[in-house]
Structure 1
């Protein structure tokens, strides 16, 4: 085993440990912490997956690593990236059993991706994601309005984030927010696409 292969396996183990921690945090209702841990795990697994992309003869490890990257991308809400990892995995030489699993996962992610585009989707309990155009920023009331397919979603913005959201005005965005009673609080905003 080369040093590079050892490093990839070590990084893969680190990603798995973070993913397990993220899953436990999600089960406890610690959604912000869970998302943060999933994102860290995905960044590590992404490095590993990129190392295996060209290693078509490294089956079944290659397919398993790429599937893992797809699952972590899905947990981070990066559905398009998840689809890409699965496509790469299927373009190699996975066993029929693994290929069948990859196809099932691809269909699930593809279905979720179609639903997510321009609509509100409930992740678990009180954490939600909306994609649309950031059509309104009200700095005095600390609110934004995301124009989605189902209408405008108004979200409260922490005062210190007012200036940050202005750069997204009139652009497609993906917004993660938390519902507390009747209020929706901004957790994350990023460019959609």
Structure 2
């Protein structure tokens, strides 16, 4: 009996050792991605987010959906979903959130997953805006300092002020999404993905312009106590 338990414990430790190899590497890539995005290297950032996501998904998939795997399993899936979100892979993010909730996530992580799910849904709506344009996106950084309605009942307008030049940009936003833009991002330093039809500029994506966002997905995972006893 003890031999069986020891073998099971050893297998668990091997999985955790693998997780603790994959997860830190994923987080290093994520921090590089946030830094690249802050420096205006948007395509490089997206590539790094995708690479980090691959590693974090591998780590999360190693743990079965049972109570013994928590909270590590939920943390890994939440982290992977956040990486997918930042890498603009919204369908993948939604799937990973569902995977996380299929286990036994602690209440605080469950709340974070639900909040992330709302962010993902919001950006999927913005994707519909992006799909209307064939040209390359415009990337703008600065402070969001103005929001109002327009003469068009379906559109609102926000203004971005560039920090270095004080240049102002007006961007149109579907009125149904205005509160999702204004509430979390007003007076914040943001990165905006925008698209132009030659006349007006439309907001197609928005995120905080800071590497501090990486803190929300970096978690230190500990080897379970059973490993130290083998």
- Secondary structure class of the residue paired with 1:101: helix
Q: Aligned pair 1:83/2:64, yes or no?
A: no
* Distance in 2 separating the partners of 1:17 and 1:55: 28
Is this contact kept in 1: 2:53–2:83, CA < 8 A? yes
- Secondary structure class of the residue paired with 1:114: helix
Is this contact kept in 2: 1:11–1:44, CA < 8 A? yes
Gaps of 5+ in 1: 121-130, 132-147, 156-176, 183-193
Comparing both structures, which one devotes a greater share of its residues to strand?
Answer: 1
Q: Aligned pair 1:101/2:82, yes or no?
A: no
- What residue in structure 1 maps to residue 53 of structure 2? 42
Shift of 1:77: 1.3
TM-score normalised according to structure 1 size: 0.60
Is this contact kept in 1: 2:15–2:63, CA < 8 A? no
Shift of 1:53: 4.8
- Secondary structure class of the residue paired with 1:52: coil
Q: Summarize deviations over 1:74-119 as a string: whole Å, max 9, x none.
A: 1221101101111111121111111111111111111211331x32
- Larger relative contact order (Cα-Cα within 8 Å, sequence gap ≥ 6): 2
Q: How many residues align?
A: 130
- What residue in structure 1 maps to residue 134 of structure 2? 153
* Distance in 1 separating the partners of 2:66 and 2:59: 12
From 69, 74, 84, give the equivalent of 1:63. Answer: 74
From 3, 9, 15, give the equivalent of 2:14. Answer: 3
Is this contact kept in 2: 1:56–1:62, CA < 8 A? no
TM-score normalised according to structure 2 size: 0.51
* Distance in 1 separating the partners of 2:64 and 2:129: 33
C-alpha RMSD of the superposition: 2.4
Gaps of 5+ in 2: 1-11, 137-192, 199-230
